[in-house]
Structure 1
Amino acid sequence: MISNNDIPQLHSPLLTEFLTEIKQASFEHSVLDLACGNGRNGLYLIGSGVPVTFADINKMSLEKILEANANSLPVEKSELAELWQVDFEDENTSPLYGKCFSAIIIYNYLHRPLFEQIKTSIQSGGLVIYETFTTENIQFGRPKNPNFLLKHNELLQLFSGWEVLHYFEGVVSNVDGQGSKAIAQIVARKP
């Protein structure tokens, strides 16, 4: 059995920094890892004892998360995972309507029509942890489409009225040390 300490530290450092706040918020509802991809962030939270709903359009990605979860975590922690195959960009649905999460984490994904759904589906006192590319990223490569890039201070404006625990906007080195990227990140608590 692999312990949480043995899982490679590929998750966002924001999750480590705000793990106490995430755990405090997650007594009633799970954390939604929205557009989770390979699930690296949600798997870190599960390894830390936090229930997570992994949501993505890609069924194969979700199956790989289930496999990684089963192979790397003790049974009692693997029971904290829920998989949800969903298309967040389907114009005919409101996938978050009527759902409630203790926190929603979003990395490298931007679909502006979801903003209001995200805000309303977080419980009072819950958290949003959001990190994605800004318009400055065009100089470094993909994505280049402005629909997928945050404008200056867009996250701050979106979550005005929330308690901002952390905000950063700027250029950082890629995790692999190869090149840079321009990002914005926010950790905010819903009033």
Structure 2
Amino acid sequence: MISNINTVEPHSPLLAEYLTEIKKLNAELSVLDLACGSGRNGLYLVSNGISVTFADINETSLEKISETSVNSLHFGKAELWQVDFEDENTSPLSDKGFAAVIVYRYLHRPLFDSIKASIQSGGLVIYETFTTEHPQFGRPKNPNFLLKHNELLQQFSGWEVLHYFEGTVGKGDGQGSQAVAQIVARKP
């Protein structure tokens, strides 16, 4: 049982919508919460009995997740992985396999091929981040961190797209708007 889960901001509604699909995936493989930050999305999955690998460069974030999910770590439902996905001298996903990969509010384009390769056949990607329309609402403003129009669709062409959205949504805290693209796709 996860303690203190209410201290973490709410998970993405996409995870609740596709929870049944995620539960149908290979239970022997975990779901990768890539660049997990506070772990809000992975913690939601763990609280629903799904094994998650929380991966982030920030050791403090991982320590907070560890404190939140101490029992899940003990029972093998959560694994912590401190990793720099942007280190050009490494390929951290090259020898890994996951039932699914979830990515929220993070974009490092050189990872797309590695993300796709690390997902088992029939596995899922759930990806949501800001688009080039977002700077009118706030940070980030750097185009390196903003998806171009239909970029996620292009990256996952050939995959079965279960959900795609690109546009403006309200922030989860009710304080303004944000421009995002979302995809849920199954690997062939």
TM range (shorter): over 0.9
Contact 1:166 1:188 in 2 (8 A): yes
Q: Residues 62 and 105 from structure 1, CA distance in 2 versus in 1: closer, same or farther, beyond 3 angstroms?
A: same
Q: Residues 93 and 6 from structure 1, CA distance in 2 versus in 1: closer, same or farther, beyond 3 angstroms?
A: closer
- Using the TM superposition, give the Cα deviation of residue 69 of structure 1 relative to its aligned residue in structure 2, in angstroms: 1.0
Tell me the residue number matched to 1:124: 121
- Correspondence for 1:139 among 117, 123, 136: 136
The 1-side partners of 2:8 and 2:185 are apart by 26
Task: State the secondary structure of the residue aligned to 1:106.
Answer: strand
Q: Residues 83 and 23 from structure 1, CA distance in 2 versus in 1: closer, same or farther, beyond 3 angstroms?
A: same
Contact 2:99 2:120 in 1 (8 A): yes
Tell me the residue number matched to 1:50: 50
Task: State the secondary structure of the residue aligned to 1:187.
Answer: strand
- Using the TM superposition, give the Cα deviation of residue 138 of structure 1 relative to its aligned residue in structure 2, in angstroms: 1.2
Deviation >3 Å, runs of 4+: 1-9, 74-78
Q: What count of residue pairs does the alignment treat as equivalent?
A: 188
CA shift digits 1:43-69 (9 cap, x unpaired): 000000000000000011001001011
- TM score, norm. by length of structure 2: 0.94
Task: State the secondary structure of the residue aligned to 1:132.
Answer: strand
- Correspondence for 1:114 among 111, 115, 119: 111
Q: Unpaired segments of 5 or more residues in structure 2? A: none
Task: Look up the equivalent residue of 1:33 and give its one-letter code.
Answer: D
- Correspondence for 2:92 among 70, 95, 100: 95
Q: Unpaired segments of 5 or more residues in structure 1? A: none
Matched, 1:181 2:178: yes
The 2-side partners of 1:164 and 1:4 are apart by 34
Task: State the secondary structure of the residue aligned to 1:104.
Answer: strand
- Using the TM superposition, give the Cα deviation of residue 176 of structure 1 relative to its aligned residue in structure 2, in angstroms: 1.0
Question: What value does the CA root-mean-square deviation take over the aligned residues?
Answer: 2.0
Alignment of 1:38-77 (within 5 A): 38-70=38-70
- TM score, norm. by length of structure 1: 0.93
Matched, 1:105 2:110: no
Tell me the residue number matched to 2:147: 150
